[in-house]
Structure 1
Amino acid sequence: MDPWVSLDPPMPAGARARAGEPGGARELVTGALADGTKRGDVGGHLELAAALGAVVPRPASGSTATLWESLATLGAHDLQLARAVEPHLDALAILDEAGVAVAAGPGATWGVFAAEGPGVRLVARPDGERWLLEGTKPWCSLASHLSHALVTAWVDDRTRGLFALDLRDPAVRTGEHAERWVPRGLPDVVSTPIEVEGAAVTPVGAPGWYLERDGFAWGGIGVAAVWYGGAVGLARRLAQPVGRELDQVAHLHLGAVDQHLTASRAVLAEAAAVVDSGGVTGSAAAALATRVRSVVVASAEGVLAACEHALGPGPQVGDASYAAALADLRLYLRQHHAERDLAALGRQAEHEGPWWTTRSAT
């Protein structure tokens, strides 16, 4: 079976889908999967990320669907692999969007560290023509494996800037407190704090730019493409269960899965076209990202439930790869802010929901 996860709608026999995958992205992704990727091989996953960075299209480049299909295909194969690749591609897209070149060297691998946590803070201060970082940044995924990262740091009490940081700098310490990492999903994608003591960094955009740019929305949809891929991977297991025939109840669950995945595929495909058109910016771009992510999360959670109901406990205790895929997707979906994001979407829709045709004068 072709592992490629397409966003194209199902085609009648003899019809032709979207032609050509720019830069060989499809060939590189499917070739890597055919050669075999080992779960937990973080180094190998990051090598693939570096290779993909040279060929996978950037968002809003005219080939956004190919980017998101690449991420979905990796997610369908192994969410840990996709979780390593996605931030690297996002970082490269951010640097391109900012027009900033960083001399990172061949084989550089990037993360994006923008989370905040209680009791710790990373601060940036100017030092002549350069900037220096001081403090602690929490929740830095794969920090001990990466060469570079884009990190947010406070430039004053209210505003954060984005900076390119060489994680190999002696002023950076990574990998502390790894013993606290005890997940059952994505167990090898370890997040730890990094401690920085005066590392020189390159500013990327003006203070506040990271969250204000349209690309922030496109990156969020890229994560949703990975979630979609994870759900597709589970659906493939349900459609071809080992050692059993699909009965009427299994067909019911598979029909529900098809319904969920069709919704996710449709909103991702539409979003890719909208992003490439350049017609949605600002608050509308943020609303688009929240809408797409919310649809994909609801669909993925529906797929999780259908697979568990249809297949029962057996494969969860007897099939390590299936149990891992369930746990990986559950944890990854929690990057979504659930009801908070739906409330934000509702506030936006109150004034400019895309399903309005007319508005009352009241």
Structure 2
Amino acid sequence: MTGDDGRDGGAGPVVVGHPDDDERAHLAALHAAARRAAGDVRVAVGLAGDLGRRLPAPGEGRTAHLWSALATLGAADLTVARVVEPHLDALAILRQAAEDAGDGTWGVYAAEGPGEPLRARPDGAGHLLDGRKHWCSVAADLDQALVSAWVGTERRLFAVDLRQDGVAPVPGTWVARGLAAVDSGPVDFMAARARAVGSAGWYLERPGFAWGAIGVAAVWFGGAVGIARRLLAASRSRTPDQVAEMHLGAVDARLHAAGCVLAQAAADLDAGALAGAAGWRSALRAREVVAGAAEDVLRRTGHGLGPSPLATDEDHARRVADLDLYLRQWHAERDAAALGREVLRDGTPAW
């Protein structure tokens, strides 16, 4: 935690690994830009487009800088991070598929929701999508998206122009208190034209699926740092008692561990060691450590600060609500069980 601007407890970039001077300068500028865009989805979309042209893809030798950028965005403002992260993920997916991303901004809509799944049917050289897709973040503000749909019994990924007439975000369905500006309600597709990306099952089977999952954890890490800075500022503003020191010490240790795990994963990825099952195990481990740290930060800052900042500090209250919802992308005990199965299958635990 560097610098000191009062209640943020020392705002500035969040680093994963050991950035050089140029990278630190870029992260500082990125933090400032994200703070200026805080809570504004349209400005965040513009920032996403710019960063897509400037940030490296995972696994290309500068993964730690990519994840530092995502963590820095998370610490600055989770609304901005929630818009930028999927755009960067979409660009990485398209690069893996040797597809041209063009100049527009992208979302990734691959989660399955309740009811009948989204269906795709062949139509000439492409496909048509019919049905409702859930969890489509800021679809009304983006140009295109990578969307998963079912072709018979096979799940495939498609590139879709969100500006066409057959795409209709469903209004009035996003009532979240966290990430309130990031409307992630459903979208109805009505004979919407789509282009297949990769073969059936490719989206989930490709190595980059695990790498992108760690990128999301980097955002959680940054969000937790942003909240922890409020606890640090409170401890600096008055003489802390032993309980306050205990919470601050525990938060420092948990965030240190989370940062180390992300740095190690970035180094392993750039060394080519996270292909196949090893990549998925690394993602499950990183997400378990980072999400657990973030939840502990939320709990300890609540205990240490009491109700006042949640009731009177707009920035802190929004950070807490945003991170609490964002963390639900982690599947908690189900992901821990998945990691347990991987440990048994592989026969070699990390320890």
Tell me the TM-score range normalised by the shorter chain: over 0.9
Aligned residues of 2:38 and 2:76 also touching (Cα < 8 A): no
Does residue 233 in structure 1 map to residue 226 in structure 2?
yes
1:173: which partner in 2?
168
Aligned residues of 1:25 and 1:55 also touching (Cα < 8 A): no
- In structure 2, distance between residues paired with 1:346 and 1:170: 45
Aligned residues of 1:297 and 1:336 also touching (Cα < 8 A): yes
Superposed displacement of residue 356, structure 1: 6.2
Match of 1:163 among 158, 176, 192: 158
2:306: which partner in 1?
312
Match of 1:122 among 118, 135, 141: 118
Aligned residues of 1:53 and 1:88 also touching (Cα < 8 A): yes
Change (3 A) 1:130 1:356: closer
- In structure 2, distance between residues paired with 1:24 and 1:169: 40
2:286: which partner in 1?
292
Normalised by the length of structure 1, the TM-score is: 0.89
Match of 1:5 among 11, 14, 23: 14
Match of 1:212 among 187, 191, 205: 205
Superposed displacement of residue 155, structure 1: 1.3
Deviation digits for residues 236-281 of structure 1 (CA, Å, limit 9, x no counterpart)? 1111128533232211110000111011001000000111111222
| 1:175-214 matched pairs, under 5 angstroms | 176=170, 178-214=171-207
Which shifted more, 344-353 or 80-89? 344-353
Aligned residues of 2:129 and 2:193 also touching (Cα < 8 A): yes
Aligned residues of 2:129 and 2:194 also touching (Cα < 8 A): yes
Which shifted more, 60-69 or 273-282? 273-282
Q: CA RMSD in A?
A: 1.9
Does residue 111 in structure 1 map to residue 107 in structure 2?
yes
Change (3 A) 1:22 1:132: farther
1:26: which partner in 2?
27
Does residue 334 in structure 1 map to residue 328 in structure 2?
yes
Aligned residues of 1:227 and 1:329 also touching (Cα < 8 A): yes
Aligned residues of 2:173 and 2:186 also touching (Cα < 8 A): no
Superposed displacement of residue 202, structure 1: 1.7
1:140: which partner in 2?
136
Change (3 A) 1:329 1:287: same
Does residue 151 in structure 1 map to residue 147 in structure 2?
yes
Aligned residues of 1:22 and 1:55 also touching (Cα < 8 A): no
- In structure 1, distance between residues paired with 2:350 and 2:159: 42
1:12: which partner in 2?
none
Unaligned runs of 5+ in 1: 9-16, 358-362
- In structure 1, distance between residues paired with 2:207 and 2:325: 27
Q: Please tell me the residue identity of whatever aligns with 2:203.
A: Y
Aligned residues of 1:316 and 1:322 also touching (Cα < 8 A): yes
- In structure 2, distance between residues paired with 1:355 and 1:194: 41
- In structure 1, distance between residues paired with 2:332 and 2:173: 25
Percent of matched pairs sharing the same residue:
51
| 1:37-48 matched pairs, under 5 angstroms | 37-48=36-47
Aligned residues of 2:74 and 2:80 also touching (Cα < 8 A): yes
| 1:243-262 matched pairs, under 5 angstroms | 243-262=237-256
Equivalent position SS for 2:140: coil
Superposed displacement of residue 221, structure 1: 0.3
